[in-house]
Structure 1
Amino acid sequence: MNFSKKAQRIMFALWLLFVPAGTLLVYLYSPTKPGDWEGYGAFLLLALLSSIFPFFIAGTTFILVIWVQIAIFLKYGILAELISMQICMIPLVYHLKISRDTLFKYFYNSFMFFSLSILSGSLVIYLGYETGSIMLKDVIVYGSIFAISYLIINHLFLFMREYLCNMNPVFFSKDLYWEFACLFITLPFGLGLYLFENTTGTTALWLLGLPLLSITLLIRMYSDSEKVNADLNEASEFGHQLADRMTTNEILDMFLKRLSNMFPLNAGYIVDNIEDNFFVLRAREDGQNKELEFGHEDIKYSLAGKVYEKGEPILYNKQTEWNHMRPPFLADDMESVMCVPIYRNQKIEGVLILAARDKFAFEPYQLKIIHLLCSYFAVSLEKARYVREAVEKSEICELTKIYNYRYLDNQLKSDISKLNSGAYRTVSLIMMDIDKFKGVNDTYGHHSGNIILQEFANIIKQEIGSNGTVGRYGGEEFVVLLPNYSKLQALNVAEQLRRKIEQTPFIVPLDLGEITRDEIIFITASIGVSTAPEDSDEGMSLLRNADRALYIGAKQAGRNRVAEYVR
């Protein structure tokens, strides 16, 4: 939860305005003073021990100190309870991982608990409670009022804080319900502690306090294990989702995005190493993907390069631990950092770096989960590579090493779709057929025919380059797709191809006779051209139009010529 600088200043101003002066006023007008608080130290120690062991339920942190605070208030009054709660803020500083930059959280919580002590205590005193009363009815009624009002006012403060910070708060949230549940469990302990202490002295604190502290510790251990199990289950589900992704880009984007949702991080980076050259492959900062470019040397001699070299994951809780080897892409305000090597086939391929602005943002067990997820990640990338190679293989003509009909069909659909959406102005299609190719096979053999097909494909591919898509349509027929080429431009390209083919000598082995020798032959091609949307705005029609132009306008007209489709 991020707060603006203005909100932080307001929080500090509230503390400065109310807490020091308010505490002094309560001291001056309190009916009980520290000199009257015999045994207060034992209560204070129990309260501190209770605040040291928080636990988690349904994602909410609970610190069961209120049961001791009830007993302190009933026995010693508002001032004693106020001081006790402020002292119990010391463990809270640790649990909230408060640093110098987040010190405002301490001041706001101190102000909030000060206000809770004053408001709840004053309410109970106003209703008629006398400090130190041992009448059972008074203890139960006023102790319950103190605890319930404490809880409700606490949530009102939290609600108002989030409302003023435009965070869309919900008052009747699951946190409120869970806190009421915990209160109803611990309230009898607080009331019992007060009554029992009045009859047996400080022995009651240990007879009631130690069992409840033990139960709290067991609940915390259980909740910690549940949290670890929940993270492991989510990691397993995450691994399956990575495996379902078919492309490298999908895997990279999903990996960093899901990590941002699973862990309290502000930035994530995947550093790759190809041929001993480091670069940032993917970066995500504050929920947005970033394009970053940094020099190889800057990354190599930073934290990323060190972890790549050692091959061991590492966790840093604050900036002073890693600042001497700061990666060039990590912002100045980052504190906690996890750095994990990415292994594939027993070899380190790269490094994952996750960073957070808070100190001690990551738990040690999370480092192990990240390490596990990096294994899923590497396997998914390997699978994507195999899938990509398999798809490419299925779309490449094995003989000519250019695209086959399957790929051409998909590419033609894609180009026509872009034409219809306005991304392309035109799409031209050139269909080519080698003239009298059957005679070549009959005279020189099929092996020589295959050599000609390979050389023919190379000529087209070199001439077209990156301007279009070249594929083998079938047999001795070839297709060229030219997006954003007009019919006139496509006709010029086709004529250049025809001349190039006509002038190129093909060396083939003559191995059908008794003596094998190489011969030089020349071939020609007939070519048909069709353009969308001029001739058609549908892919198969465009193909048929070019085929019609080829056979009627070129083949039947004498071969070795270019013909355009005419309606």
Structure 2
Amino acid sequence: MDISDKAKKNIYILWILTVPFGIYLVYHFASSRQIEWDTFIFLIVLGLLTTIFPFFISGTTMFLVQWVTLAVYLNYGILAELLVMQLCLIPIAYHMKTNKENAYRIVYSSFMFFLISVACGSIAHFFGYNLGTLVVKEVLIFGSIYSIIYILLNHVLLFIRESVTGKNPRFFTKDFFWDLAGLIMTLPFGLSLYLLENYIGTSAFWLLGIPFIMITLLVRLYSDSEKVNADLNKASEFGHEMAERMTGKEIIDMFIGRIANMFPMDSAYIVDYFKGQFLILRAIEDGENKELHFSHEDIKDSLAGIGYEKGVPILYNKQSEWLHIKPPFLTSDMQSVMCVPIYRNQKIEGVLVLASRNKHAFEAYQLKIIHLLCSYFAVSVEKAKYVSNAVAKSERCELTKIYNYRYLDKQLRNDMDRLALGQYNSLSLIMMDIDKFKVVNDSYGHHSGNIILQDFAKIISEEIGLNGTVARYGGEEFVILLPNYSKIEAKNLAEQLRRKIENTPFIVQLDLDEVASEEIIFITTSIGVSTSPDDSDEGMSLLRNADRALYIGAKQAGRNKVAEYVK
């Protein structure tokens, strides 16, 4: 449960005012029997062992200590059971990875178990239970009453807590049914332990305690293997999903996000090694993306740099193990840390650093799974680079290196969609055609014609820069897309380009002569301009309008002119 600092303080105050004084009252007024210390110590040890080795089933942790505390109550009463239960909170605190921030949970559990112990014992006494009785019928009845009330009261208190904290409480939760299953399993053991210990003494602990602990360990081994298999299946699915992403950014976003959801971490960092420098490629802290910048030297001498040099996954379970090599990006409240190298083509490209505020937050097998995921990640990023390069190559004109018609068609549709959504105010299209280009080819050869096309594309690309998209439409025709350009602005830019082309000398090679030589020539261009939404609200119509303006308004009017489309 996540609560405010004020609520945490109230829990501590409530415990101080209730539990110590309550134990004092129980000691003086509750029914009890004289404790046989050799038996009682065995019961304490058995209770602690049971709590040290809990069950893990379907993601639920079950501390089945009730079978021991039931035997303690039936034998010695409320005070003895209460003390054993409070002692068993010590290993529970360890399993909950208790620290300063969440210590209130153990204090709250202590308070809650105190109330339950007193209430259940008092109810059993009210209905007539006599401590230490060996009448089997009474033991079965009152032991069952005690255990059932214990489970019900526990969940009633949880229900009240959820209601008070403003959550949407439910009584019949998954945990309730697992506790009910635990009751069905532990009740026969608890009753048998009580009866057998009274008849044969401490041998009962060996006859029942060892089998119970062994069963617990076997269930844990099976549960651990199932958890590992489940995490491996998630890792496999994760790997396939990364492989389906097409861009490096998508892969990085997905990788860091899924890692944060799969493992009990508070922060994650991808430390990249690029051109001899360490840098934070991506960082996420408490679920939020962060932009972090630190010097190469600070990272190099930290556990991130050491992990990069060693090239093997490293797990730190507490802060004292890595504080002397603390990286600048880790906050001082972190405890558990994993540092995993990211390999690509047998070479380390960087490291992944995961951190948690809890000690012993990560399991050793999780380190191996993350190492596997880092391999998937590196391969997916590499694949994305190849795909990106292939796509970029397929969308570029091999001769001029500017975009081709395939890309132009896609970009025109995207820009028209943005215009329709109101992201652009207007979209202008300029179509340019080199005048008498066939004469150039016939006079100077196709190689010279190609040089002119390359230089022509370079000129208009430099003039447009980031203001628009320049593409080769086909042959000697070029198209420029200009988002947020009005028709007047586009026409002025087109006139600027026309003059630039007209006044630029082009060097061609006279490869048709017997002796190769170079010559300076001048060319002109005819230009058509069309704008959306003024002229059309459809992309291909916008293109055809500019083409019409080019041939009717510029070519047929004498060439070397700029013409706008007129309806």
The TM-score normalised by the length of structure 2 is: 0.97
Counterpart in the other structure of 2:540 = 540
SS at match of 1:337: strand
Find out whether 1:7 has 2:7 as its counterpart: yes
Displacement of 1:504 in angstroms is 1.7
Counterpart in the other structure of 1:475 = 475
CA distance in 2, matches of 1:452, 1:475: 12
Structure 2: stretches of 5+ with no match in the other structure: none
CA distance in 2, matches of 1:159, 1:259: 32
Q: Deviations over 1:162-202 (max 9, x none)?
A: 33333433221111111211211221111111111121111
Q: Deviations over 1:460-479 (max 9, x none)?
A: 11111111111100011001
Between 61-70 and 392-401, the greater mean CA deviation after superposition: 61-70
Matched letter for residue 110 of structure 2 = S
Counterpart in the other structure of 1:169 = 169
Q: Which residues of 2 match residues 273-284 of structure 1 at below 5 A?
A: 273-284=273-284
Find out whether 1:531 has 2:531 as its counterpart: yes
Counterpart in the other structure of 1:352 = 352
Is contact 2:33-2:77 (8 Å) kept? no
Between 551-560 and 335-344, the greater mean CA deviation after superposition: 335-344
Q: Deviations over 1:501-521 (max 9, x none)?
A: 112222222222333322222
Is contact 1:283-1:290 (8 Å) kept? yes
Displacement of 1:33 in angstroms is 5.2
Counterpart in the other structure of 1:435 = 435
CA distance in 2, matches of 1:159, 1:392: 59
Q: Deviations over 1:415-459 (max 9, x none)?
A: 222222222122111100011111211222212211111111111
Q: Give me the identity figure in percent.
A: 65
Counterpart in the other structure of 1:296 = 296
Displacement of 1:105 in angstroms is 2.0
Displacement of 1:36 in angstroms is 5.2
Q: Deviations over 1:192-220 (max 9, x none)?
A: 11111121111112111111111111111
Q: Deviations over 1:214-273 (max 9, x none)?
A: 111111111111111111111111111111111111111111111121111111111222
Is contact 2:31-2:78 (8 Å) kept? no
Q: Which residues of 2 match residues 59-458 of structure 1 at below 5 A?
A: 59-458=59-458
Matched letter for residue 308 of structure 1 = Y
Change in 2 beyond 3 A, CA 1:333/1:3: farther
Matched letter for residue 232 of structure 1 = L
Between 506-515 and 168-177, the greater mean CA deviation after superposition: 506-515
Matched letter for residue 164 of structure 1 = V
Displacement of 1:38 in angstroms is 5.7
Displacement of 1:295 in angstroms is 3.1
Displacement of 1:293 in angstroms is 2.8
CA distance in 2, matches of 1:441, 1:267: 63
Q: Deviations over 1:1-35 (max 9, x none)?
A: 43321221122122111111111111112333555
Change in 2 beyond 3 A, CA 1:43/1:35: closer
CA distance in 1, matches of 2:373, 2:560: 60
Change in 2 beyond 3 A, CA 1:340/1:38: closer
CA distance in 2, matches of 1:369, 1:13: 43
CA distance in 2, matches of 1:387, 1:195: 73
Matched letter for residue 476 of structure 2 = E
CA distance in 1, matches of 2:314, 2:439: 70
Displacement of 1:547 in angstroms is 0.4
CA distance in 2, matches of 1:229, 1:15: 42
Matched letter for residue 438 of structure 2 = K
Displacement of 1:296 in angstroms is 3.0
Is contact 1:430-1:546 (8 Å) kept? yes
Matched letter for residue 29 of structure 1 = F
CA distance in 1, matches of 2:276, 2:171: 55
Change in 2 beyond 3 A, CA 1:35/1:59: closer
Is contact 2:35-2:76 (8 Å) kept? no
CA distance in 2, matches of 1:64, 1:421: 61
SS at match of 1:39: helix
Count of aligned pairs? 567
Displacement of 1:148 in angstroms is 1.1
SS at match of 2:292: coil
CA distance in 2, matches of 1:160, 1:255: 39
Q: Deviations over 1:392-428 (max 9, x none)?
A: 0111000100000111111111222222222212211
SS at match of 2:145: helix
Counterpart in the other structure of 2:518 = 518
Counterpart in the other structure of 1:47 = 47
Displacement of 1:298 in angstroms is 3.0
The TM-score normalised by the length of structure 1 is: 0.97
CA distance in 2, matches of 1:360, 1:171: 32
CA distance in 1, matches of 2:31, 2:183: 28
Q: Deviations over 1:472-512 (max 9, x none)?
A: 00011001111112212211211121112112222222222
Is contact 1:73-1:80 (8 Å) kept? yes
SS at match of 1:268: strand
Is contact 2:528-2:550 (8 Å) kept? yes
Change in 2 beyond 3 A, CA 1:164/1:107: same
CA distance in 1, matches of 2:109, 2:150: 14
Counterpart in the other structure of 1:31 = 31
CA distance in 2, matches of 1:312, 1:156: 49
CA distance in 2, matches of 1:314, 1:51: 30
Is contact 2:271-2:304 (8 Å) kept? yes
CA distance in 2, matches of 1:455, 1:518: 15
Is contact 1:77-1:121 (8 Å) kept? yes
SS at match of 1:282: strand
CA distance in 2, matches of 1:37, 1:313: 49
Is contact 2:33-2:75 (8 Å) kept? no
CA distance in 1, matches of 2:415, 2:3: 49
Q: Deviations over 1:72-102 (max 9, x none)?
A: 1111111111111111122112111112332
Matched letter for residue 196 of structure 1 = L
Is contact 1:155-1:171 (8 Å) kept? yes
CA distance in 2, matches of 1:165, 1:350: 44
